[in-house]
Amino acid sequence: MPNPVVPVVPDITVVDRVDEETVEDFNRLIPQLHKNSPPLDAARLAQVLDCPSNLVLAARIGTRTVGLLTLVILTLPTGVCARLEDVVVDEPARGRGAGLALVRAALAAARSRGAVQVDLTSRPSRTAAHRLYEKAGFARRETNVYRYRLDIA
């Protein structure tokens, strides 16, 4: 009989400093989401953290970072909205509550910043992530997502 997955309540913190450990955490976790992502250096991570529209959250169990999420707040003529980007939980920690805790913390932060909606996109192959988003209250939208790659134009 398999062992049941035991939920763990992680600490959710704002990532607000660049140090060697934080750079290592990003370089361990982000490739689990984006396979071809180039390594992040301290200067690039500082740009991400210093961007006034970004709020980067980390899920920690003990001293180990097991998840990351970037909340982007967009102030538009039609109102304030938000996006979740780069939501990733370390593979060994998946299914134990870190992703849901990150998403719930991001939703609370978006609400406190005046956002009236929060969007995200997720690849069709990420079925476990889809279940997580639905559990957090997201509803799938009928939409077309378009992308223009500036590096190929």
Residue-wise pLDDT tens digits, 76-94: 999 999 999 999 999 999 9
CA distance 39 to 23: 9
CA distance 10 to 106: 14
Q: Tell me what percent of the residues of the chain surpass a pLDDT of 70.
A: 94
**To the nearest whole number, what is the mean pLDDT of the chain?**
93
Rg of the chain's alpha carbons, rounded to an integer? 16
Question: pLDDT per residue over 29-39, tens digit each?
Answer: 999 998 888 99
The pLDDT assigned to 9 comes to 83
Q: Tell me what percent of the residues of the chain surpass a pLDDT of 90.
A: 82
Residues 6+ apart with CB under 8 A from 52: none
The pLDDT assigned to 47 comes to 97
HEC profile of the chain: CCCCCCCCCCEEEECCCCCHHHHHHHHHHHHHHCCCCCCCCHHHHHHHHHCCCEEEEEEEECCEEEEEEEEEEEEECCEEEEEEEEEEECHHHCCCCHHHHHHHHHHHHHHHCCCCCEECCCCCCCHHHHHHHHHCCCCCCCCCCCCCCCCCC
The pLDDT assigned to 86 comes to 96
Using the structure block, give the residue that is written with the tokens 């689990």. 32
* Boundaries of every domain in the chain: 11-135
**Is the model's pLDDT at 3 over the cut of 60?**
no
CA distance 153 to 101: 39
Question: Which CATH architecture describes the domain 11-135?
Answer: 3-Layer(aba) Sandwich (3.40)
Q: Are 40 and 26 in contact (CB under 8 A)?
A: yes
Q: What is the arithmetic mean of pLDDT over 113-126?
A: 94
CA distance 151 to 153: 6
